[in-house]
């Protein structure tokens, strides 16, 4: 993590004059407000692999997409980030090379670094791949990659493709080489801190041992809260509303970019997710551009956060539209275009 950039963004978040196009947060208006019932045993210790009812829900959704997964093969984690860390420590030896592409999720880069691996933009000479099937972060593009090496498949945004398509998970294609990761942080609530990991067969016991050493279990309260929500709302209808909301914001952001962005900016319309990846062609350093944006009253996620360490490229940034009020998107993007 770049702590300088993090400190700047924290200060910006505390300033009501700044419109944030950073963070990639769910729309606050989509966070569920249904009453949550917490049983008394949710205040007690639980099993390291997680509540069986929640593991059964995860397994049933994967089976509906074509993956033959049993609840006993699912490990509930403290968000997808812990699942990433567990997968990285299981799939990667120290010094191993893992392909991540030109731009990818910063939390994955951190997990691979802490596992002692080397993240590479190119897939050549790599024994492991990290991919975000269906909808990728930060690009918002659809990606259904081949599985020809050991693969860590992060499906955080898989249900947020704007056209409603949800592809079969990669673990349905190759159970032996795919480490499947999922979460409700993007579709329902990040504050619950609930994710899951489905490791390849034969790797489950070591994952459970490693998780037990880390935290004993995912929060009993978080798991109980999620189960209560799932019993009181129509999850699929909620996700459909979320897709529609994010698609409208994406359209508004694209309209503003077409009106205000300089011709040198290159971007593609996202097909899902929370953000648009923009290549500017500028040679300015990331901190300089971030300060210019802040001086204009807007903040962004600089591209250096998403690049593998060895990749040097012109300035790019992630523009997140997901939690910005529709009325603020055009003014924010106009400010940003003027500033940069």
The model's confidence at residue 1, banded by pLDDT at 50, 70 and 90, is low
Contact 336, 296 (CB under 8 A): yes
Contact 302, 286 (CB under 8 A): yes
> Where do we find the tokens 């924010």?
332
CA distance 240 to 187: 10
Helices (H) and strands (E) in the chain, counts: 9, 14
pLDDT tens by residue, 155-198: 999 999 999 999 999 999 999 999 999 999 999 999 999 999 99
Mean pLDDT over each residue of the chain, to the nearest integer: 96
Domain with CATH 3.40.640.10 in the chain: 40-232
pLDDT tens by residue, 269-325: 999 999 999 999 988 899 999 999 999 999 999 999 999 998 989 999 999 999 999
pLDDT of residue 277: 98
Q: Locate 154 and state its tokens.
A: 């992060």
Contact 328, 257 (CB under 8 A): no
Chain-centre distance of CA 306, in angstroms?
12
CA distance 183 to 200: 18
Bridge partners (DSSP) of residue 130 are 152
What are the Cα distances from residue 265, in Å, to 254, 277, 291, 332?
12, 10, 19, 16
The highest-level CATH class for domain 3-30+237-339 is alpha beta
Q: Locate 72 and state its tokens.
A: 């006993």
Whether the pTM exceeds 0.75: the reply is yes
The model's confidence at residue 214, banded by pLDDT at 50, 70 and 90, is very high
pLDDT of residue 312: 87
Terminal Cα distance for the chain, rounded: 24
What are the Cα distances from residue 271, in Å, to 16, 28, 80, 103, 241?
30, 21, 22, 17, 16
pLDDT tens by residue, 77-89: 999 999 999 999 9
CA distance 121 to 308: 6
Helix (H) or strand (E) holding 180: strand 178-183
> Is the domain defined by 40-232 classed in CATH 3.30.420.340?
no
Question: Strand locations in the chain, DSSP E?
Answer: 19-20, 75-78, 97-99, 118-120, 128-131, 134-135, 142-143, 150-154, 178-183, 194-198, 275-279, 298-299, 301-302, 316-320
Contact 284, 147 (CB under 8 A): no
């Amino acid at each position: 993590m770049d702590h300088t950039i993090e400190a700047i963004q924290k200060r910006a978040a505390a300033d009501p004059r700044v419109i944030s196009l950073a963070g990639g947060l769910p729309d606050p208006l989509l966070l569920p407000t249904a009453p949550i019932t917490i049983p008394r045993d949710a205040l007690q210790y639980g099993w390291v692999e997680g509540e069986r009812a929640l593991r059964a829900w995860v397994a049933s959704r994967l089976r509906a997409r074509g993956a033959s997964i049993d609840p006993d093969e699912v490990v509930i984690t403290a968000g997808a980030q812990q699942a990433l860390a567990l997968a990285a420590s299981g799939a990667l030896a120290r010094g191993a090379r893992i392909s991540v592409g030109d731009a990818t999720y910063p939390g994955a880069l951190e997990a691979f670094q802490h596992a002692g691996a080397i993240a590479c933009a190119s897939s050549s000479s790599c024994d492991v791949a990290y991919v975000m099937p269906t909808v990728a972060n930060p690009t918002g593009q659809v990606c259904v990659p081949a599985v020809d090496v050991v693969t860590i498949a992060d499906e955080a945004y898989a249900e947020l493709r704007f056209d409603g398509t949800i592809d079969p998970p990669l673990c349905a294609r190759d159970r032996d080489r795919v480490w499947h990761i999922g979460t409700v942080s993007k579709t329902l609530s990040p504050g619950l801190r609930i994710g899951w990991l489905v490791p390849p067969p034969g790797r489950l016991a070591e994952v459970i041992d490693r998780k037990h050493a880390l935290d004993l279990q995912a929060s009993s309260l978080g798991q109980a809260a999620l189960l209560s929500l799932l019993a009181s709302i129509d999850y699929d209808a909620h996700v459909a509303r979320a897709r529609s909301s994010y698609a409208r914001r994406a359209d508004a952001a694209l309209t503003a970019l077409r009106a205000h962005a300089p011709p040198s900016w290159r971007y593609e319309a996202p097909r899902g997710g929370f953000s648009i990846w923009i290549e500017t062609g500028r040679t300015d350093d990331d901190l300089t551009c971030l300060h210019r944006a802040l001086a204009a009253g807007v903040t962004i996620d600089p591209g250096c956060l998403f690049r593998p360490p060895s990749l040097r490229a012109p300035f790019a940034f992630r523009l997140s539209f997901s939690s910005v009020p529709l009325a603020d998107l055009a003014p924010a993007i106009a400010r940003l275009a003027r500033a940069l």
